[in-house]
Every structure is written in C-alpha cells, then in structure tokens.
Amino acid sequence: MSKRIVCKFGGSSVADAKQFKKVKSITDANPARKIIVVSAPGKRSPEETKLTDLFYSAYDLAKKSLDYSEPWNMISQRFSEIAQELNLSNAINTELEQINLQLKDKSETLSSDYLASRGEYLNAILIAEYLDAEFIDAFPIISFDDKYRISPNTYNNIAKAIEDESKVYVIPGFYGSDLHGQIKTFSRGGSDITGAILANAIDAALYENWTDVSGMLMADPRIVKDPKPIEYISYREIRELAYSGASVLHDESISPCRAKNIPINIKNTNKPEDYGTIIGPTPQSSKHPITGVAGRKGFSMIYIEKTMMNKEIGFGRRVLAILEYEGLSYELSPSAIDSMNIVVDSKELYAVQESVLENITQQMRPDQLKVFTGISLIATVGHGMTDKIGVAATLFNALADNSINVRIIDQGSSQINIIIGVSESETERAIQSIYKAFIN
Ligand code: ASP
C-alpha cells in the first residue's frame, strides 16, 4: 500500500503569504505529505470576502454587462500580494489577463462554474511554485457523468497523473469537467471532496484536512461553553452528527475515504501540533457514553391520525407516495398504532404544503391532519450508547429536569443515535442539558 498522505488546505489556510509559509513548514515536516489539494484564498478576517465569492460576483456583474472592476481588482490584488511577498514569478498574471478578457468579451467558455474554479486554479499554481512541486490541473483528471456523479475513470486518471511517489503534487480542489468538456464545480466547500477522491485513487495512508480549528468538538461552542474535543469519531458517527449540523468537513468527502478505510485527520494549520480529530472506520471506546450532540432547526411535522391505521394495509406506503409525487423528501417518520408523523424540511414543505395536505385528505381520509412547524431535531450520537444501560434515561431526565418538552423521539435504527424533536426555541437549552448530563 502506498504510504503517501493527501493534505487538503482550506481557504483560511491558504489566504495569504503568511499562511503559505505555514503550509510549507507543514509539508516539509513530513516527507509522506506528497499530494497537496488547495482551496481558493479564503478570508483573512471575518469581515473579508472569500475569493470564490468575489469570482461569483465578478461573473454576475460581467454577465449583466455591469462594471465588475471592484471584485476583479480585489481578486488581482490578493493574488499579486501573495506572489510579491513570496518572490514568485508572475506566471499567473498572464492567466489573470486572459480571464479578464473572457469576462470583458463575455466569451462562450465563460460560465459561473468556470469562473468560480479559477480561485483554486490560480492558487494551486502559486502554491506549486512556492513548494517547488508539480502543478496538476483537476480539469482533465476529475470528470462527472450525466448525473454529476464522479465518473469511474476519474480514479484511474488520478492514479496515473500522480503516480511518481517521489514527487510532491499540487492539485486545485473544487472542480472537474463535465460530459461536454466544460468546467463543473462541486457544491460549496467541495475541495474537501477533491481531497477525498484523490486519497481513494492512490490508496493514501491518510487524508489530512487542514483547516482553522483543531478538529471537531462534542458540541457547538456557540451553544455549549468550552465543549470537549473529539479525538476520534467513526465514519458512521460523523455522518449522523454532520446531518444534524455539526460539520467541519463536506459530508460528501466521507464516502470516498470510507470505501477504502482511509482515516481522515482534521488538523489546524495555525496550530499544527494539536492532535485534531481522527475520523476512522472502527468504533473506538471513549471516556464518554456519547461522542457528540448537535441540533438543526427548520423542520415541520405532518401529523396524521386515523383509527385502525395499523390494519389498513399500504397506508404508510400511500402517504409516502404522495410526498414522492410532490418531490418532498422526509427525514424521519416515527409512528404509533393509529397515527403517523412525518418530519420534513420546513422550506421544502412550504412550497408544496397545500397540495400535499389536500392529497392526504382525499386519498387517506384521516380523522386528523395537522402540521406543526418550528421544530428542531437534536441528535445525540455515540457507539458508546449501544451497550450502555440508562443512556436514554439520562437524556430524557436531563430534558425533564430542565422542563423541555420532547415532541418527537426516534432512537435511530442505526443504534448509535437518539434523535429528539423539540420546539426551535428550546434548541440551545436542550443541547446544553444533554451535554451537561453526559459530560462532566
Ligand atoms: N472555494 C470553494 C468554496 O469557497 C471550495 C472550497 O473552498 O472548498 O466553496
């Protein structure tokens, strides 16, 4: 097996010359760090705009034949500051001029995805020069199929393009090519996915994801004061927590690593000595019965009640078919003997609510049909809870002691997640109570 490590550096890790120097000392510190994936320069301070967003605004303005010089000058300035401070060649100036011309002429090759991808492209050229590494463009090697899934030949293309194990390669994240030979980007934050695909393609020993935090925390620090760090979390646990809003990594970057059991280490570029969080295949015993707690607002619950529902064959299937027909996906469906709850995203429901309710009324003839809005789903996750007695009791006692009304209970069939639904206004208090009950 290959011993190479894939390192992805996020926007804040490559935001300016000072950050480039940190990247160099990190890559120099371990000779196995051979594959470097980079984002576009991110924010240097909270009020600054990411370069990707500046590219999007330049595109929007140019498309409307409006003056795009403001975002464009900011883009050029950020790149030239980096190049100047690090004494790099002016190779990217020609590239910038060309892109500017395409904007001016509104050329045919100009698309929003193309322009947005230029942040990673230009940054990777600069970093490759600074690290004395080989630049490899993502465009010819990462390709999408007609459904915008990664096409199977991508993995072979990558393996071939970066096969020399003695070399250091720098690859821009966030984009590839579509079936028509045009640039196609991943969704926002997608450089994480590029890194994961590269790790899969070369059977990397490890995928290091370098960012500006020292890994994941057991709860959102804006809600819980000084939550404990998560040193280790399994792929399954992170999937459950990420769904509920805890995230430092794009969720689509888990499965390429999971397919090959490649561990992911989230590390802090500004504090490389910190351990960070390892995301790995096997559950590991931890000091605490739970690995983390996270919550997400914005859900609604469709409540359907009908006497003898349990004897009406196909009732659930027909209700879900109505949702399917309206293109509405559901999150959970806890049910009782004569009632069924379907939890859906409030924004998605809003668009089709009237016809969903009308169809349920006509086709299912319920005794009661109601929609409850303003619900939060809170996930308490951990492999540790499967074989421990009293986890659910601790959780519900904590909520009862704090007078928090639980509206939905779902002990996930995954066995590693207890999801509860509370009113949105209780989200923070519920998370605080659960955290405090388990972690001390
Ligand atoms: N630059 C892109 C974004 O801001 C992709 C990334 O950083 O991962 O979303």
If asked whether residues 258 and 321 sit together in one domain, one would say: no
Q: What is the pLDDT of residue 270?
A: 97
If asked whether residues 308 and 341 sit together in one domain, one would say: yes
Q: Nearest C-alpha to atom 5 of ligand 1 is from which residue?
A: 189
If asked whether residues 398 and 271 sit together in one domain, one would say: no
Tell me, yes or no, whether 228 lies in a domain.
no
From 127-141, 143-157, 237-251, 347-361, the region with the lowest mean pLDDT: 237-251
pLDDT in tens, 331-346: 889 888 999 999 999 9
Q: Ligand 1 pocket: which of 39, 43, 269 to mutate (most atoms <8 Å of CB)?
A: 39
pLDDT in tens, 15-61: 999 999 999 999 999 999 999 999 999 999 999 999 999 999 999 99
Distance (angstroms) between ligand 1 centre and the Cα of 131 equals 21
Structural domain span for residue 156: 5-213+248-280
Q: Determine which helix (DSSP H) or strand (DSSP E) holds 170, and give its type and residue range.
A: strand 169-172
pLDDT in tens, 267-325: 999 999 999 999 999 888 777 889 999 999 999 999 999 999 989 999 999 999 999 99
- Asked whether residue 160 carries a pLDDT value surpassing 70, the answer given is yes
Q: Ligand 1 pocket: which of 50, 112, 142 to mutate (most atoms <8 Å of CB)?
A: 50
Tally the domains of the chain.
2
Tell me, yes or no, whether 226 lies in a domain.
no
Distance (angstroms) between ligand 1 centre and the Cα of 326 equals 32
- Asked whether residue 245 carries a pLDDT value surpassing 70, the answer given is no
Q: What is the pLDDT of residue 336?
A: 87
Instruction: Tell me the CB-side half-sphere exposure of residue 332, using CA atoms within 13 A.
Output: 27
Tell me the H-state helices in 209-252: 235-243
Q: What is the pLDDT of residue 100?
A: 95
If asked whether residues 208 and 356 sit together in one domain, one would say: no
CA–CA distances in Å: residue 232 to residues 130, 275, 383, 438:
33, 10, 11, 17
Q: What is the pLDDT of residue 289?
A: 85
346 versus 246: the higher-pLDDT residue is 346
Which residue(s) pair with 345 in the sheet?
A: 299
Tell me, yes or no, whether 18 lies in a domain.
yes
If asked whether residues 266 and 332 sit together in one domain, one would say: no
If asked whether residues 152 and 273 sit together in one domain, one would say: yes
Tell me, yes or no, whether 175 lies in a domain.
yes
Assign 2 a pLDDT band (cuts: 50, 70, 90). low
If asked whether residues 274 and 408 sit together in one domain, one would say: no
Q: Please give the structure tokens belonging to residue 179.
A: 């079936």
If asked whether residues 269 and 306 sit together in one domain, one would say: no
**Strand 169-172 and strand 33-38: pairing?**
parallel
Q: What is the pLDDT of residue 413?
A: 65
Tell me, yes or no, whether 164 lies in a domain.
yes
If asked whether residues 273 and 340 sit together in one domain, one would say: no
Distance (angstroms) between ligand 1 centre and the Cα of 10 equals 8
Mean pLDDT (the chain, rounded)? 93
Give the separation between CA 282 and CA 371, rounded to whole angstroms: 40
Atom of ligand 1 nearest to the CA of 11: 7
Which CATH number belongs to the domain containing residue 186 in this structure? 3.40.1160.10
pLDDT in tens, 102-141: 999 887 778 999 999 999 999 999 999 999 999 999 999 9
If asked whether residues 255 and 363 sit together in one domain, one would say: no
If asked whether residues 262 and 307 sit together in one domain, one would say: no
Distance (angstroms) between ligand 1 centre and the Cα of 41 equals 9
If asked whether residues 72 and 188 sit together in one domain, one would say: yes
pLDDT in tens, 385-424: 877 788 889 999 999 999 999 998 887 666 788 999 999 9
Nearest to 56 by CA among 132, 114, 137, 122: 114
Tell me, yes or no, whether 287 lies in a domain.
no
CA dihedral 429, 430, 434, 436 (to 10 degrees): 0
- Asked whether residue 101 carries a pLDDT value surpassing 60, the answer given is yes
Q: Which residues line ligand 1 (CB under 6 A)?
A: 10-11, 39-40, 50, 52, 119, 173-174, 188-192
Q: Nearest C-alpha to atom 6 of ligand 1 is from which residue?
A: 189
Q: What is the pLDDT of residue 412?
A: 63
